[in-house]
Amino acid sequence: MRISPIGIYKFRKKGFTLLELMVALFLISLILAIVFPSFSGLQERRLKSEARTIASLLRYLHDNAISTKETTFLKFDLKERVISWEEPEGRKAESFESLEGLNLQSRGEVKEGQIILFFGPLGIQENITVYLREDDQRMRVAFNSVSGRTKIFEESR
């Protein structure tokens, strides 16, 4: 016991009560229930994001080459999983973790090495399909050279 200016009070033992532990565990489980579903879809969202980025890049380079009447290139490095291209502002490159390969009318399916595609004043002259894969999810970005449109297909194994 300890005497204080107000009066006498008892010391409380150090530690947590069962009720405090149950409340803490409830709060932690509630937070985890909210956070974990967003982590599970993270890879799928990254795969879709990369597919949309590649689709936009193909459309942009095709349209830009036609409008400016200049030839530009798009280089796929399948070993490093990097796509590089040239814009009026200079050369740019971006890494794509899920880049698996591509299919060209002139070469067929390519899964290794480097491929350079040229976009001339009439755009690109062949259809392109880019394959992306993350674990059991697979996506492909198909570019139609005649219409200049892209389409993203989602596949699961």
Partners of 108 in the β-ladder: 104
> Does residue 137 sit within a domain?
yes
**The CATH number of the domain where 150 resides is what?**
3.55.40.10
> Does residue 48 sit within a domain?
yes
* Predicted pLDDT at 54: 94
- 8 pLDDT higher than 70: no
The model's pTM: 0.71
**Higher-scoring residue by pLDDT: 34, 9:** 34
Note the pLDDT tens digit of each residue in 78-107: 999 999 998 878 899 999 999 999 999 888
Contact 94, 74 (CB under 8 A): no
> Does residue 103 sit within a domain?
yes
Q: pLDDT category, 5, cuts 50, 70, 90?
A: low
- 1 pLDDT higher than 90: no
Note the pLDDT tens digit of each residue in 21-34: 888 998 898 888 88
User: Structural domain of residue 47, as residue ranges?
Assistant: 43-156
> Does residue 18 sit within a domain?
no
Contact 97, 46 (CB under 8 A): yes
**Higher-scoring residue by pLDDT: 21, 12:** 21
- 13 pLDDT higher than 80: no
d(CA 8, CA 124): 89
User: Closest Cα partner for 54 from 4, 96, 90?
Assistant: 96
* Predicted pLDDT at 9: 58
* Predicted pLDDT at 12: 61
**Count of domains in the chain?**
1
| pLDDT, averaged across the chain | 85
Note the pLDDT tens digit of each residue in 108-154: 999 999 999 999 999 888 999 999 998 888 999 999 999 889 999 98
Crossing angle for the helix pair 42-68 and 18-40, to the nearest 10 degrees: 30
> Does residue 1 sit within a domain?
no
